[in-house]
Amino acid sequence: MHPPSESIVAFKAAVAREDDAFTGSIMSYDELSIWATERCIPLVREITFQNAEELTEEGLPFLILFHAPDDTESMKRYTALVQEELADQKQNVNFLTADGVQFAHPLHHLGKSKNDLPLIAIDSFRHMYLFPDYNQAYLPGKLKAFLADLYSGKLHREFHYGPDPETTEEPQQIEDKSGGTAVPKKEKATTPPESTFKKLAPSKNRYTLLDKDEL
């Protein structure tokens, strides 16, 4: 890879395990900066116990692929899908992969185990939402619609009250005993699993210099 008497810049990714050489001009700061940023802060990142605090501090919901430790194929497939269909959502959500054995606790909250891997889920820092059918995620538009349902509040609403009506019929009403306007009748409320990754966020009691006038 290294031509004799020539200097090169290369990036080695843990997942791909292949060296990626910079082909632009090393003397061009802009070219090198853009290339390095795209690789050092990739669109899809791996979450570990070491970087979880840093990722939660960014404040964006997680769209996570949980995979078996030796399953590199699902990681490549998920990364390709995100790059092709979801790159325009990077300001709204963090795209992550997670070792499903290392992060068995979140899987347990979703009612799943390592035998169910791979899985895709959203952690909004309030609740966790499991994508219903992993294989359906790779159909055009399915995962983007899942994110849209998060943004609109539909995921939260449906987890609490059941699926939204799919017909245009007048919703069944119940009496509002407080004297207000009648509201649509909902199914029995359910509770989605609580977020587990919010527990990996920095402690609110940690020492900080923010908002301090003196030491």
Q: What pLDDT score does 76 carry?
A: 94
**22 φ/ψ angles, rounded to the nearest 5 degrees:** -75, 125
Phi-psi region of 93 (alpha: psi -120 to 50; beta: other; left: phi over 0): beta
Q: Which CATH architecture group holds 43-164+183-200?
A: 3-Layer(aba) Sandwich (3.40)
Residues of the chain with CATH 3.40.30.10: 43-164+183-200
Q: What pLDDT score does 67 carry?
A: 97
Q: What pLDDT score does 188 carry?
A: 46
Would you say residue 64 has pLDDT above 70?
A: yes
Phi-psi region of 172 (alpha: psi -120 to 50; beta: other; left: phi over 0): beta
Mean pLDDT of all residues belonging to the chain: 81
Per-residue pLDDT of 85-132, as tens digits, reads: 999 998 899 999 999 999 999 999 899 999 999 999 999 988 999 999
Question: Which residue did the predictor score with more confidence, 67 or 197?
Answer: 67
Q: What pLDDT score does 189 carry?
A: 47
Residue 72 tokens read as 């590199």
Would you say residue 190 has pLDDT above 60?
A: no
Q: What pLDDT score does 210 carry?
A: 46
pTM reported for the whole predicted model: 0.68
Using a 10 angstrom Cβ sphere, with 0-12 exposed, 13-18 middle and 19 or more buried, the burial of residue 122 is: buried
